[in-house]
Amino acid sequence: MSTNSNDSMWLLEKLYSAVVPICTLGIIFFAFAFRKWKRTPGDDWCVVEGRVQQAKVIEGKGRDLGKYGVIAYSYFVNEYQSGEYTRSFLREDSATHFVSALKDKKIQVHYNPKNPAIPNLKEDKLERLVLADKDT
């Protein structure tokens, strides 16, 4: 009977010694993959100052009953470039506040260094401008 328990212990030790390193490597892999996945376009792009040229609120169509704050902006990299950013809102007053807070404001535009015509705006930076406008 002691032979069976020794065999069981030996098997458990072997399984444990194989499972722990595999799980550790799996956790490291998934942590790395999650960090890569979580990154947004523009995290490692160049940044230039731009300016919001137009800002408007539009209504969703069909089943989409939401409101959208749309800003059009320009920035200069070798020549003038432009982009558009849209954010959805449930309420029209929130969308109106968003666009009025950003109209004619300077903004940070991230652009692809390989193709400056591909811009990206960071939501957290826009939100700071909107909140700063609310404080004034």
Q: Where are the domains of the chain?
A: 1-38, 46-135
CATH 2.50.20 at 46-135, yes or no: no
Cα Rg of the chain (Å, integer) = 26
Instruction: Kindly give the interhelix angle for 123-135 and 92-102, rounded to the nearest 10 degrees.
Output: 90
- pLDDT value at position 50? 97
Name, in order, each residue with C-beta under 8 angstroms of 40's C-beta and a sequence gap of 6 or more: 120, 122
> Parallel, antiparallel, or unpaired: how do β-strands 67-77 and 115-120 relate?
unpaired
- pLDDT value at position 40? 59
Q: Please report, for residues 2, 3, 19, 24, 123, the alpha-carbon distance to residue 120 in angstroms, rounded to integers and kept in the order given.
A: 68, 67, 43, 36, 9
- Residue with the two structure tokens 């939401």: 66
Phi/psi region, residue 78 (left: phi>0; alpha: psi -120 to 50; beta: rest), is left
- pLDDT value at position 120? 93
- pLDDT value at position 104? 95
Whose CA is closest to 50, among 19, 72, 21, 24? 72
Dump pLDDT digits (tens) for 42-81. 678 999 999 999 999 998 877 777 899 999 999 999 999 9
Q: How would you write the pLDDT of the chain (136 residues) with one tens digit per residue?
A: 556 667 777 777 777 777 777 777 777 777 766 666 555 556 789 999 999 999 999 988 777 778 999 999 999 999 999 999 999 999 999 999 999 999 999 999 999 999 999 999 999 999 999 988 776 6
Angle at 117 (CA atoms; ends 112, 119), nearest 5 degrees: 55
- pLDDT value at position 13? 79
- pLDDT value at position 2? 56
